[in-house]
Amino acid sequence: MALTPETLARHELVGLDVRVVAASNPDLTGVAGEAVSETTNTVGIERDSRVRQVPKDSATFEWTLPSGAVVETAGEALLARPARRSEHRGDSKWR
């Protein structure tokens, strides 16, 4: 399945450029860099050799896809272990 704005939540997010466009913690708004880790509840964003852990449930993210498309996603849509999220969002021939 190709990585498109519609299928972003079903793909691996690590390696994509990301920016936090809104967050309940104002210190996290504007954090940008490469997604280097992802857990059930957080996204690790690296910039200048520093990794910031951003909670998914209280942030809105802007992802830059390899195609150059920019996609804004509410963190609540990404809450799940990465492997489980890719199995259960939308139609999957593997379920």
Q: How far apart are the first and last CA of the chain?
A: 15
CATH for 8-88, options being 2.30.30.210, 3.40.718.10, 2.60.120.10, 2.60.120.200: 2.30.30.210
Dihedral in degrees, nearest 10, Cα atoms 15, 77, 90, 8: -30
The pLDDT, as a whole number, for residue 53 is 97
Give me the residue spans of the domains in the chain: 8-88
pLDDT per position as a tens digit, 38-69: 999 999 999 999 999 999 999 999 999 999 99
Q: How far is CA 37 from CA 30, 46, 58, 94, in A?
A: 18, 9, 17, 25
Residue recorded with tokens 């957080």: 42
- Where does residue 20 rank: exposed (0-12), middle (13-18), buried (19+ CB within 10 A)? buried
Instruction: Kindly state the percentage of the chain with pLDDT values over 70.
Output: 88
